Amino acid sequence: MKKEGIIIGAGMAGLTAAIAMQQLGISVKIYEWAPTLEAVGAGIWMAPNAMQVFDRLGIAHKINEGGVPLEKIQIVDRNMHPILRTNQDAFRNRFGFTTTAIRRSSLQEILLQEINKENLNLGKKCIGIENIGDEPVAFFEDGSSVAADFIIAADGVHSPVRKQLFPKAILRNKNTCCWRGIALLQLRPEFKKAIIESWDQGVRFGFSEVKDGMVDWFAVQRTKDKSKGHIKTRLNQLFG
């Protein structure tokens, strides 16, 4: 029997699921809320487990070429003295991959290249799903609905589908504020192909190269204060 499915959400999970389905010969249509897919976001680390998934899908080499396969991950204190070093060779020997740092936009581009664009429907906000007879049906804000053999909900952290299916699931508040960015600069050789993360009381700062001359950085503070304020002043006070 020919199966036809629906994927809600064209984030990294939805796109990856769509590639896997396509490769299995299962027809899927993706429905994404956003009217356009923008190249947004800073960097992301693709851990060895994710890289193994991409390897099965035949695109791990593209992720490695588009990003930076890392050779070391190091936690340091505020004076850059090492607290922890991990041996990335051990991961490569065991799993075939280390962690790869890549721009989120590059990852999205690689995943999108694999997708049959005819199956990507933008500007479609799912508002709920329902079983009608034997078929699951997805309903959209524009009043339309689509029936399928199965539905994969990959609609992110605020997933309306999860809220519907698991109304008691609650998001954990970590009372943490995170700032992220991309800086165009050349790192010293010892900081290349590495994640460096510096820990201090209630704050963390980390960075890794996502491309030659392009550095993903993040600054994290444990706080209940979510006010936007003057970001540069606040970061200078915390980390300067």
Ligand X SMILES: Cc1cc2nc3c(=O)[nH]c(=O)nc-3n(C[C@H](O)[C@H](O)[C@H](O)COP(=O)(O)OP(=O)(O)OC[C@H]3O[C@@H](n4cnc5c(N)ncnc54)[C@H](O)[C@@H]3O)c2cc1C
| Whole-angstrom distance, CA of residue 17 vs CA of residue 42 | 22
Q: Does 178 bind ligand X (CB under 6 A)?
A: yes
Residue 108 or 187 with smaller CB distance to ligand X: 108
Q: Does 9 bind ligand X (CB under 6 A)?
A: yes
Give the range of 28-36, 112-120, 165-173, 224-232 binding ligand X by CB under 6 A. Answer: 28-36
| Whole-angstrom distance, CA of residue 77 vs CA of residue 46 | 24
Residue 178 or 183 with smaller CB distance to ligand X: 178
* Burial class for 192, CB neighbours closer than 10 Å (0-12, 13-18, 19+): middle
Q: Does 128 bind ligand X (CB under 6 A)?
A: no
Q: Does 155 bind ligand X (CB under 6 A)?
A: yes
Q: Does 33 bind ligand X (CB under 6 A)?
A: yes
What's the one-letter identity of residue 106? S
Binder among 6, 7, 10, 152 for ligand X (CB under 6 A) = 10
Residue 136 or 156 with smaller CB distance to ligand X: 156
What count of other Cβ atoms lies within 10 Å of the Cβ of residue 21?
Answer: 20
Residue carrying the six token digits 């050349």 = 186
Tell me the sheet residues that pair with 138.
129, 146
Q: Does 152 bind ligand X (CB under 6 A)?
A: no
Binder among 5, 32, 68, 120 for ligand X (CB under 6 A) = 32
What count of other Cβ atoms lies within 10 Å of the Cβ of residue 240?
Answer: 8
Among candidates 209, 184, 208, which has minimal Cα distance to 196? 208
Residue 81 or 183 with smaller CB distance to ligand X: 183
Q: Does 31 bind ligand X (CB under 6 A)?
A: yes
Residue 9 or 67 with smaller CB distance to ligand X: 9
In degrees, rounded to 5, the angle at the alpha carbon of residue 58 between the alpha carbons of residues 54 and 62 is 75
Binding-site ranges for ligand X (CB under 6 A):
8-14, 31-34, 44-45, 50, 125-126, 154-157, 160, 178
